[in-house]
Amino acid sequence: MIDASEGKARQRAWAEGEDISVDSDGYVLKVEENLFLPMSPATLMELSDGSGNELGDLGRRGKMQALHSSSALAYNVFEYWRQQEDREPLRHALGLGSSIASIRFEGKFSTGLGGPAHVDVVLEVGDRTVGVESKFLEPFWSTTPYATFSKRYFADGIARWTDIGLPRCQALAEQVYTGDLEFLRLDVPQLLKHALGLWKLGGREASLWYLYLELAGKVGARHRMELERFEQSAGEEIGFKALSYDQVMGRLREFGEAGHGKYLSYLENRYGGGSPSARRTPI
């Protein structure tokens, strides 16, 4: 397991080993230095069109230039398979029952409340859409509960989640909004907004997944406890699945290298998952 200082130190050590310059905040000079593969045209368009300033603009550095970027982590795991015809190893690693028809980044899903929900990775699997929220070191940063919902989510007495068939999400959202439940390490409002957007798709089934790196100490214990609380409260009705990147990397390695050795070594050397000695205990 990792803690915050170890996580950042591991990334700096990786950059130094690759002779990549890093500023005092842990950002590389060019986003390409933070990525395993050059971006496909489709991915470049999706990330450029997103609202997260992942690539930067007007002289501002992008969030994906950070060594600790969760979007860079998601990119480095998933973009490789977007550029592969055979995605069977990834299907196996994620435990999916059907083949992965498509992979895209920064999916936008309307919540009906102005700005859309932005989902890090979107997989089309059979007749199902799987939205993936990616986390790296973010659960370490928070010292106060995550920001709650704005009033518009509950305006005019409208039960927005219940109206689309998610009554348990509605109940949880109300508990978070009123302060009856607090989450310090898991951004539950973000997850529930993602669910609201995904379930307004219509015509397709949807699932919300959460990929993360295992965390050490009290922070990790609190994070796991909050994940369990979320799963018990609303997980069943949204097909929620929490899966560590460590598990994914380990399963990719178990499937066999079969020409993917350089990719697997990159992930293991940089993020520490996959090899038996580096695997962490799953939740």
- Asked, for residue 282, whether it belongs to a domain, the answer is no
Three-state SS sequence of the chain: CECHHHHHHHHHHHHHHCCCCECCCCEECCHHHHCCCCCCHHHHHHHHHCCCCCCCCCCCCCHHHECCCHHHHHHHHHHHHHCCCCCHHHHHHHCCCCCEEEEEEEEEECCCCCCCEEEEEEEEECCEEEEEEECCCHHHHCCCCCCCCCHHHHHHHCCHHHHCCCHHHHHHHHHHHHCCCCCCCCCHHHHHHHHHHHCCCCCCEEEEEEEECCECHHHHHHHHHHHHHHHHHHHHHHCCEEEEHHHHHHHHHHHCCCCCHHHHHHHHHHHCCCCCCCCCCCC
Distance CA 99, CA 23 (A): 41
Task: Please write the tens of the pLDDT for every residue from 170-191.
Answer: 999 999 999 999 898 999 999 9
- Asked, for residue 281, whether it belongs to a domain, the answer is no
- Asked, for residue 249, whether it belongs to a domain, the answer is yes
Lowest mean pLDDT among 51-60, 74-83, 114-123: 51-60
Burial 256-268 (b: 16+ CB within 10 A, else e): eeeebeebbebbb
- Asked, for residue 114, whether it belongs to a domain, the answer is yes
Q: Which residues is 226 bridged to in the sheet?
A: none
- Asked, for residue 215, whether it belongs to a domain, the answer is yes
- Asked, for residue 210, whether it belongs to a domain, the answer is yes
What mean pLDDT do residues 155-177 have? 94
What mean pLDDT do residues 58-69 have? 88
What is the domain extent for residue 259? 4-271
Measure Cα distances from 187 to 23, 190, 227 in Å: 28, 6, 10
| Structure-derived torsion over alpha carbons of residues 253, 256, 261, 266, reported in degrees to the nearest 10 | -10
pLDDT for 273 equals 60
pTM: 0.90
- Asked, for residue 32, whether it belongs to a domain, the answer is yes
Q: Is residue 49's pLDDT more than 80?
A: yes
- Asked, for residue 278, whether it belongs to a domain, the answer is no
Task: Please write the tens of the pLDDT for every residue from 65-93.
Answer: 999 999 999 999 999 999 999 999 999 99
Lowest mean pLDDT among 92-101, 138-147, 159-168, 184-193: 138-147
Looking at the 3D structure of the chain, how many domains does it have?
Answer: 1
∠ CA 267-193-40, nearest 5°, is 40
